[in-house]
């Protein structure tokens, strides 16, 4: 980008004061043009950074969608396996709803205060999964294997999200015990 400056030329019929004023205005115009160019450069850099961040977020969302698709396949298999099991469909629905609530709860944690609000929700969800243990124990082996895979996949998928949340200042000391208990409970659902 080239900056064009008005060249100081003796102006016919101008007083020395008017010529000096014109020269000052020329300097101000050059300075304003330089400032505008710098602002445009900064804006372009910010836009490039924002585009990079958006691309990174889209990549992460695509990764999450692929992982969710794997969980969806497990849900479909579980639905088929649990169709003839008394209480099986209700159990699967409870698992899906609870796992969804964990994800949305963790997504809402942004600081120590939101972590304090999330802790009782995580604890309640851990208790919900604990209440499913008896029903899980009564499932046929084939259904146990599929439900066990759902819990194992969910625990694996939640781990990076949990690590990210715990890295937020003021969150670990509040939420870590509840999240560790939750992961331990999810990992209890093993096919025999």
Please write the tens of the pLDDT for every residue from 98-143: 988 998 999 999 999 999 999 999 999 999 999 888 888 888 887 7
Residue 125 token pair: 């969800």
Q: Looking at residues 34-63, what average pLDDT do you find? A: 63
> What is the domain range of residue 155?
61-187
Contact 98, 128 (CB under 8 A): yes
Is there a domain that residue 159 lies in? yes
Is there a domain that residue 100 lies in? yes
Is there a domain that residue 121 lies in? yes
DSSP summary character for residue 139: S
Give the predicted TM-score (pTM) of the model: 0.59
Q: Total structural domains in the chain?
A: 1
* Cα–Cα nearest to 60, from 139, 134, 154, 164: 164
Is there a domain that residue 19 lies in? no
Is there a domain that residue 170 lies in? yes
**Maximum Cα interatomic distance, the chain, rounded to a whole number of Å:** 105
Is there a domain that residue 136 lies in? yes
Predicted pLDDT of residue 61: 47
Predicted pLDDT of residue 36: 75
């Amino acid at each position: 980008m080239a900056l064009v400056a008005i060249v100081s030329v003796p102006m016919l019929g101008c007083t020395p004061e008017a010529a000096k004023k014109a020269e000052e205005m020329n300097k101000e115009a050059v300075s304003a043009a330089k400032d505008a160019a710098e602002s445009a450069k900064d804006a372009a850099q910010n836009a490039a950074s924002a585009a990079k961040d958006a691309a990174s977020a889209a990549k992460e969302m695509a990764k999450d969608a692929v992982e969710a698709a794997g969980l969806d396949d497990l849900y479909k298999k579980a639905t088929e396996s649990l169709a003839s099991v008394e209480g099986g469909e209700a159990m699967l629905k409870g698992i899906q709803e609870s796992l969804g609530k964990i994800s949305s709860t963790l997504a809402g944690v942004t600081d120590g205060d939101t972590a304090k609000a999330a802790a009782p929700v995580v604890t309640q969800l851990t208790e919900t999964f604990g209440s499913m243990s008896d029903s899980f124990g009564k499932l046929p082996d084939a259904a146990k294997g599929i439900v066990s895979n759902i819990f194992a996949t969910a625990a694996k998928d939640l781990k990076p999200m949990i690590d990210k949340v715990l890295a937020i200042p003021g969150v670990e000391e509040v939420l870590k015990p509840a999240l560790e208990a939750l992961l331990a409970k999810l990992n209890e659902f093993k096919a025999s």
